[in-house]
Structure 1
Amino acid sequence: MQADSFEERTYKKVTWRLIPLLLLCYAAAYLDRVNIGFAKLQMMADLGMLDVVYGLGAGVFFIGYFLFEVPSNIILYRVGARLWIGRIMITWGLLSAGMAFITTDTQFYVMRFLLGVAEAGFFPGIILYLTYWYPSHRRAYITALFMTAIPLAGIFGGPVSGWILKNWDHTHGWHGWQWMFLFEAIPSVVLGMMVILLMDDRISRASWLDDAERSLLEGNIRHEEKQKRDMPARHLAKSGRIWVMSAVYFSMTMSLYGISFWLPTIIQDMGVTDNLEIGELSSIPWMAAMLAMLIFARRADLTHDRRQHIATTMFLGAAGLVGSVLLAHNPLPSLLALTMACMGIMSAIPLFWSLPTGFLLGSSAAMGIAAINSVANLAGFASPYAVGWLKHITRSMDSGMYMLAILLVLGACLTLKIPVGND
């Protein structure tokens, strides 16, 4: 009992040291990635931009992300998380601020592409970094805790973005969306500097741990690594398991970015016209999602039945997307359905990452995690563009939501086919 108590105290100490900073970093990253959804409410009219142009520009971010994801994670593995993640954050913060100066469609495309290049490697780098500190039976909950950054970005980012759009429009000759890009980039730069100053690359370099704590943590990681394998890159590329996981995560990210980029527009289509009110209403689904993802993750860690939990949450997300369409003419029930969709999608994502990190080790973990994330995040390009194209063709969001729901169902079925292995 005393040994268990010491272990629990040690992991709580690690969690309080690492997770708050990482969570804030990801919240800033995600806000800089998707605040384009709020900028759209003003920017399209100011720049004469079409829905198809917006969808392509929102999605081209992920082309740059895809091309540089694996190289970025390999660099992180070699030079350490502290310097590389700090570099990533400062770079993307400066580029996100630069979005305030775009005036043409081409500039919009170029800046979104460069933003993707700058951010490449951040998320898979953190997922890899967590494997240095936590064994697999603790990782679903810790990953979920870290990924509450996404709903937190929605909870606070929505109202803040709406407030800036409403209250700073035409201030000193700038539009509200320009001020929004500038203000919301500042936290990324500041947090990047904090990462360089405060983050420790490995357990062995953490001066805030005593010898007993360090020995416990390193022993748990060594024990788990004996059950993993470090595959050569050529074998990794041929692994059917990796490709199936990429397809599953693709379906998740399609739905996540479909909601993230279009939620303000969906709420606007319900008849809400005030930008501040749109921002406030958009925070509701994310608040519910944050609670749901922690509950599902804790239960999955206790039962060790991650596949069933992943599939269940994906089915829940699909049902919510379909419900949002069927109830579209009733604002409150439609918002509740969107909330259910966010709860399902957001709960599935951190659970998913316990699967590849459960059997990959060393450089193969760096490459495998980055490869799954980069391939799947092509959905970040496909989703806003496909939804935008369908909206342009059908004059409705319905077909886009149905498409995302179908992909979630297919992804859930694939999840149940993944070999059990060492997760």
Structure 2
Amino acid sequence: MALQPFVAGLAADVETPAKLAETQGERDSARSTKLDRRLPTCRTTIWLLALTNFALLANVVTALWLPSLIKGSGISDPLHIGWMTSIPYAVAITTMILVARNSDRTGERRWHAVVPALVASIGVIWMSFSLHEPVMLVFAAALCIGGALTLNALFWNLPTALLSGNAAVVGIAFINSVGQLAGFTAPAVFGWLFQKSGSPAYGLLSLGALFAVGGLAVLCIPKTAVNR
């Protein structure tokens, strides 16, 4: 008889996670229903996020071409090219941590994604005007890669804040699929422009425009939907 309260307490503890899961499921179901009611808006948001992800993953161009661009600027020593190529990524490590921590502290999501995208846009456009100046080229590349990788660290806060349940499964898969297309199309278009013009400047300018459009697309999402 004396053990009955203890056993009852254990049973309550065992049931608590199940009850919590059931409550969370009810919340997700309610949220999915809410999203279904505004399906046209939801579809528009998914397309905007897919555009941003496409722009983000187009940064593969700078990852592939930066060593060649540094070499073309007048640096011939492979060791120096390697060290100079690593500088933008060292900058990106710092900016990713600082910006992500500030976003989590303040709960603001949109501008913490938009600003890195615009910084990346400025950086890659600056690269197109610094092709024969190694120091300025690396500085501009640090802005570009730092901005793009910081956006990469923060981007998935947006769709996960907007979507849940079945909508999250389909929406995130679609956003990711569209983004992955940039892995092929961005280097292909960059190479084609390089071949036609004889200079990487036009490809870099196009990439800068894409970064700007992808970043500004985030501003079309209501801040009340993603900030928390």
Query: Is the TM value for this pair above 0.5?
Result: yes
* Structure-2 residue corresponding to 1:251: 55
1:289·1:342 contact (CA, 8 Å) conserved in 2?
A: yes
Structure 2 counterpart of 1:404, from 203, 207, 214:
207
Compute the displacement of 1:227 (Å).
Answer: 6.9
Alpha carbons 2:116, 2:151 under 8 Å: kept: yes
Q: Secondary structure at the match of 2:157?
A: coil
Who is 2:154 aligned against? 351
**8 Å contact from structure 1 (residues 227, 359) kept in 2:** no
1:298 partnered with 2:110: no
Contact 1:242 1:372 in 2 (8 A): yes
Separation (CA, whole Å) in 2 of partners of 1:291 and 1:367: 33
1:241 aligns with 2:36: no
Cα displacement (A) at 1:280: 2.5
The Cα shift of 1:228 comes to 3.7
- 2:24 is equivalent to residue 222 of structure 1: yes
Deviations 1:106-140 (A, max 9, x none): xxxxxxxxxxxxxxxxxxxxxxxxxxxxxxxxxxx
The offset of 1:421, in angstroms, is: 4.9
Distance 1:315 1:328 in 2: 20
* Match 1:327 to one of 105, 117, 130: 130
Q: Provide the TM-score with structure 2 as the length reference.
A: 0.80
Alpha-carbon contact 2:57-2:182 (below 8 Å) kept: yes
Q: Kindly report which structure 2 residues correspond to 1:4-43, keeping only aligned pairs within 5 A, or say none.
A: none
Partner Cα separation in structure 2 for residue 299 and residue 357 of structure 1? 18
Higher relative contact order (CA 8 A, sep 6+): 2
Alpha-carbon shift at residue 248 of structure 1 (Å): 1.6
Question: 1:240 offset after TM fit, Å?
Answer: 1.3
Residue aligning to 2:177: 374
Q: Map of 1:265-276 to 2, 5 A cutoff?
A: 265-276=68-79
Structure whose alpha-carbon radius of gyration is higher: 2
Report whether the alignment pairs 1:365 with 2:168: yes
Structure 1: where are the runs of 5+ without partners? Answer: 1-210
Q: Does the 8 Å CA contact 2:32/2:166 hold for their aligned counterparts?
A: no
Alignment-mate amino acid for residue 262 of structure 1: W
SS at match of 1:355: helix
Contact 1:391 1:400 in 2 (8 A): yes
Per-residue CA distance 1:45-69 (angstroms, 9 max, x = gap): xxxxxxxxxxxxxxxxxxxxxxxxx
User: Residue deviations 1:246-274, cap 9 Å, x none?
Assistant: 112112222x1111121121122122233
Q: Which amino acid aligns with 1:342?
A: I
What's the CA shift string for 1:137-176, capped at 9, x where partnerless? xxxxxxxxxxxxxxxxxxxxxxxxxxxxxxxxxxxxxxxx
Aligned to 2:188: 385
C-alpha distance after superposition, 1:73-119 (max 9, x if no partner) = xxxxxxxxxxxxxxxxxxxxxxxxxxxxxxxxxxxxxxxxxxxxxxx
Q: How many residues align?
A: 206
8 Å contact from structure 1 (residues 321, 401) kept in 2: yes
Q: TM-score, normalised by structure 1?
A: 0.45
Q: Displacement, 1:302?
A: 1.6
Determine the C-alpha separation between the residues in 2 that align with 1:269 and 1:222. Answer: 56
Q: Which amino acid aligns with 2:45?
A: R
Cα distance in structure 2, aligned partners of 1:295 and 1:348: 12
In structure 2, the partner of 1:141 is none
Which residue does 1:195 correspond to in 2? none
Identity of counterpart residues, as a percentage? 30
Structure 2 unaligned segments of length 5 or more: list them: 1-12
Q: Residues of 1 paired with 2:190 and 2:62: CA distance?
A: 10
- Measure the CA separation in 1 of the matches of 2:24 and 2:96: 29
1:60 maps to none
Q: Please give the alpha-carbon distance, in whole angstroms, between the structure 2 residues aligned to 1:358 and 1:417.
A: 15
Give the Cα separation in 2 of the matches to 1:418 and 1:259: 28
8 A Cα contact 2:113 2:215, kept in partner:
yes
**1:413 pairs with one of 192, 216, 226:** 216
Deviation (angstroms), 1:225: 4.2
Question: 1:261 aligns to what?
Answer: 64
